[in-house]
Chain A
Amino acid sequence: MKRDSVAALMPVFKGLGFGAVGFLLGGGATVGVATLLGRPAWPVEAAIVIGYLVGLAGWLLGVGVWDYWARGWFGLPPRKAEVHGWRRYFHFTTDHKVIGVQYLVTFVVLFLLAGFFAMLMRIELAYPGQTIMTAARFTHLMSMHGIIMIAVAVATIIGGLGNFAVPLLIGAEDMAFPRINALSYWLVPPVALLLVATFFAGGFDTGWTAYPPLSEVNATGQVLFNLAVITFGFSSILGGLNFLVTVARLRAPGMTWGRLPIFVWSVVAASAISLTATQFLAAALLMILLDRTAGMAFFSAARGGAPLLYQHVFWFYSHPAVYIMILPGFGVALEVLTHFSRKPLYAYRWVVAGFLGIVALSFIVWAHHLYTSGMAEYLHGPFMATTELISIPTGLIFLAALGTLWMGKLWLRTPMLFALGFLFNFLIGGITGIFNADVPTDLHLQDTYFVVGHFHYTIMGGMIFALFAGIYYWFPKITGRMYNETLGRLHFWWMFVTYNTTFIPMFWLGIFGMNRRIADYPPELGAVNLFVSASALLLGASFLVFVINMVRSWARGPRAASNPWHARTLEWQVPSPPPEGNFPAPPQVAGHPYDYGVPGAVHAVVAVTGAAQGGPSGEGER
């Protein structure tokens, strides 16, 4: 058994070995060239950059790109290992369901890690003055919390639930580019490794935004951060491309664009952004690397560069990026609300228009992050206008949600509770966003805890609540087992209450002069901070309930039926978990996925292995 486990982990070990060799080769060559050219100092950061690029190639080849893929380029037959069970998750597997689980588990673990960092930060902030850590350690932990949570928000729903569910929902057997899909996932471990390595390279103290000139003069940890984020961006671009092509080309017969489940639409919208905007983030971070390692001066004012330039390029990606995070959250929440209300999704076409409207507007609002940056003042009005307008397509999501709940038969299981919690939290996140979009109020609120409260309400209260809705919703399909409902409800109520008591007071703190990203604050703000910290620790504890539920249910939970929610969409018409290839034959889609209560409506006819039509699929056709 033990040797067996080692063999199962072989690709990972091979990747790490090849990666280490590549790093030494690349780094050594850089040092060698520099010495030959007679450069006096050790080019440590340049060596890290070049070493990392070669090492990354080594890691990818070792972990499976060579065996499964690149051998073919040289006329060699690919070497595919036959792996089953948990071992698949450590291989360069191309099955979208395996990759979905890889993403989900990896990013839930990262979510818990970055949440643990937040707990440490809140302990430090419980009392004024230094309590458990130095300002330097706090700033590093805060920056780590930020960037890991950004990655979690970008990748968990779309990479995890999207990979698992989208091909099933559209009646496809896999993604359009299964090997690129595996590549997207296996680019993630180097990102995590680099971020952890910043602890040994002096950390980085710029937050996740990495504003120069600070990011050009701080410790070497910044270089590792930039490499990590560029790598992650590459993975994100490949993922976006893959989803767009998959939905465009692999829909089952009869699955028209007008019949796509809403979660699929949300993934399409988010993918359009990640495919086209991520390059700007990578470019901005690359320019910082070039400033640091190659003596260029994009952002160094002393040498003719412009610090403000970075902020424009950075936010040109990073504002659309919040819609990469939240659009799939909208999708999951509406999907769950519809099935658990037993009603058609209200104003379906309006929701799709809303998604596309958000995508379009998301590209022309970025400078609302720059009201206080010193950019030309005549830009304030136009960017305020575009930003306020984005509430119109977003409002359509609420129309659809409320219209769907109205007169429904609300089945309040755990996924539904989280979807309802999403609506409440995102409502607060959206409304407080208006205060940040408005220039006069933002001049005071910018860079304060009001902003911290606002974006946690949209991303954590919104996207993370939707993520949990999706995890509980698809858990029986993914694992073939049922989670524990009592623990699920306990998790929801515990998290919902402590979440709100943690973040509501932050709005007050921001108005009352607490700026963000600080290890210490005026003692006058001590009482509210203590309350926030106590709430935050209770909030952190709620995730233990989730972890216990997931681990126990996955190992020993009761077997789940193929369609425990009596839902109409395609993934519930195949066994739990779905077999490799998903459908024995392409499903024939005949109608809308959400026609609950419409007499005689049929979404699709799905052939079932070993049985005539009917069986479990009959559920969805009632």
Chain B
Amino acid sequence: MSGHLRNVAVLWVLLTVLGEMVALRAGIYPPAAAEEARVVDSAFRLLLLLAVPVFTFVLAALLYSVARFRIRGEPRGDGPPLHGRGIVPWVWLAVTTALAVYVIFNPGLRGLAELRANPTADLVVRVEGARWLWKISYPQYGVTSRELVLPVGRRVRFDVTATDVLHSFWIPAFRMKIDAVPGMTTRVFITPTATGSFEDNFHFRLQCAELCGLGHNLMRSPVRVVDPAEFEAWVARAKAP
């Protein structure tokens, strides 16, 4: 019994080391181009870090049991009657509860607090979803556009709504999403931290993420993050005609 436990523990440690190496190195994140994306990605990374030992624990016990305790042919006799009435379930309960509660606070509530810390914005962008296109306007400048152009490093508040059915405002490079709901204005704050454009990277797109009928998958607008000076120039050009 203790020999088996030791073997499983060794297997668990090995699998965990292997799993963490893969989890920490794997290139599983698209380019992050906003402060919010950094918060989301670090939450994801932490959850992955915690998930690996949980996954490998069950996997180690499962694989070891199948390899070591399998029988050939019809069963002759039974295994030992372990009923699980002792301390083990209590320990299990304590560990899983601790893990669950920890995850609620970190990255859960901590990440939420970071995302909500600053409810002020330099720039307001109004986004209106209608089947099947996004209408983008800059009320501070009186400019409307089919392309979402943002200055890098400036905090932006998006006021999002819809005119017909539900849509959802999603920019993968920023990792932020909020539904566009008829009769409501929903808000999301984003601070772009890197320049880039849809032409170079498809994660720079404003994608509808809530099923809205026939043209749903085509409902996307290009996103371009530029230097503040270039942004001012773009605004001036857009106002000119």
- Chain A positions near chain B (C-beta within 8 angstroms): 135-136, 139, 205-207, 211-214, 217-218, 301-302, 306-308, 341-344, 346-350, 372-374, 377, 380-381, 384-385, 388-389, 391-392, 395-396, 398-400, 402-403, 405-412, 420, 423-424, 427-428, 431, 434-435, 438-441, 443-444, 446-448, 508, 511-513, 515, 517-522, 524, 566, 595-598
| A343-B82, A344-B83, A402-B61 given; A447·B30 CB < 8 A | no
The answer to whether B43 and A513 touch across the interface, beta carbons within 8 angstroms, is no
The answer to whether A207 and B211 touch across the interface, beta carbons within 8 angstroms, is yes
User: How long is the Cα–Cα vector from A399 to B93 in the complex, in angstroms?
Assistant: 9
- Give every chain B residue within 8 A of A407 (Cβ-Cβ): 1, 4, 69, 79-80, 82
The answer to whether A518 and B217 touch across the interface, beta carbons within 8 angstroms, is yes
- Give every chain A residue within 8 A of B182 (Cβ-Cβ): 213, 301-302, 307
- Give every chain A residue within 8 A of B92 (Cβ-Cβ): 395-396, 399
The answer to whether B81 and A598 touch across the interface, beta carbons within 8 angstroms, is yes
The answer to whether B181 and A308 touch across the interface, beta carbons within 8 angstroms, is yes
Q: What 4 additional pairs, Cβ within 8 angstroms, besides A211-B210, A342-B79, A517-B216?
A: A406-B69, A438-B47, A441-B107, A520-B218
B96 contacts A by Cβ under 8 Å: yes
The answer to whether B66 and A443 touch across the interface, beta carbons within 8 angstroms, is no
| A403-B84, A408-B65, A434-B51 given; A205·B211 CB < 8 A | yes
The digit string for B200-241, where 1 denotes a CB below 8 A from any CB of A, is: 001101011111111111100000000000000000000000
Which of A343, A385, A424 touches B81 (beta carbons < 8 Å)?
Answer: A343
Per CB-CB distance, the 5 closest pairs between chain A and chain B, nearest first, are A301-B183, A347-B84, A440-B111, A518-B217, A597-B78
* Contacts A/B (CB < 8 Å), 13 sampled: A308-B184, A343-B82, A344-B81, A380-B112, A405-B66, A407-B69, A407-B80, A410-B71, A423-B58, A435-B44, A441-B111, A444-B177, A524-B202
**Which bracket fits the contact residues of B?**
35 or more
- Give every chain B residue within 8 A of A380 (Cβ-Cβ): 112
Which of A308, A438, A521 touches B217 (beta carbons < 8 Å)?
Answer: A521
Stretch from B120-128, B136-144, B145-153, B160-168 at the A interface: B160-168
The answer to whether B88 and A388 touch across the interface, beta carbons within 8 angstroms, is no
Closest to A508 in B: B28
Least CB distance, A61 to chain B, in whole angstroms: 39
The answer to whether A346 and B100 touch across the interface, beta carbons within 8 angstroms, is no
The answer to whether B116 and A377 touch across the interface, beta carbons within 8 angstroms, is yes
- Give every chain A residue within 8 A of B62 (Cβ-Cβ): 402, 405, 420, 423-424
- Give every chain A residue within 8 A of B74 (Cβ-Cβ): 411, 566
User: How long is the Cα–Cα vector from A199 to B58 in the complex, in angstroms?
Assistant: 45
The answer to whether A446 and B177 touch across the interface, beta carbons within 8 angstroms, is yes
| A448-B209, A520-B218, A596-B79 given; A373·B179 CB < 8 A | yes
B186 contacts A by Cβ under 8 Å: yes
Least CB distance, A321 to chain B, in whole angstroms: 19
- Chain B positions near chain A (C-beta within 8 angstroms): 1, 4, 28-30, 36-37, 39-40, 43-44, 47, 51, 54-55, 58-59, 61-62, 65-66, 69-71, 74-75, 77-85, 88-89, 92-93, 96-97, 99-101, 103-104, 107-109, 111-112, 114-116, 164-166, 168, 170, 172, 175-179, 181-184, 186, 202-203, 205, 207-218
User: How long is the Cα–Cα vector from A267 to B114 in the complex, in angstroms?
Assistant: 43
- Give every chain B residue within 8 A of A381 (Cβ-Cβ): 108-109, 112
The answer to whether B81 and A596 touch across the interface, beta carbons within 8 angstroms, is yes
Which of A372, A388, A411 touches B75 (beta carbons < 8 Å)?
Answer: A411
The answer to whether A405 and B65 touch across the interface, beta carbons within 8 angstroms, is yes
Which of B61, B181, B183, B209 touches A447 (beta carbons < 8 Å)?
Answer: B209
- Give every chain A residue within 8 A of B101 (Cβ-Cβ): 388
User: How long is the Cα–Cα vector from A207 to B209 in the complex, in angstroms?
Assistant: 13
The answer to whether B104 and A427 touch across the interface, beta carbons within 8 angstroms, is no
| A409-B77, A410-B70, A427-B58 given; A439·B211 CB < 8 A | no
The answer to whether A214 and B165 touch across the interface, beta carbons within 8 angstroms, is yes
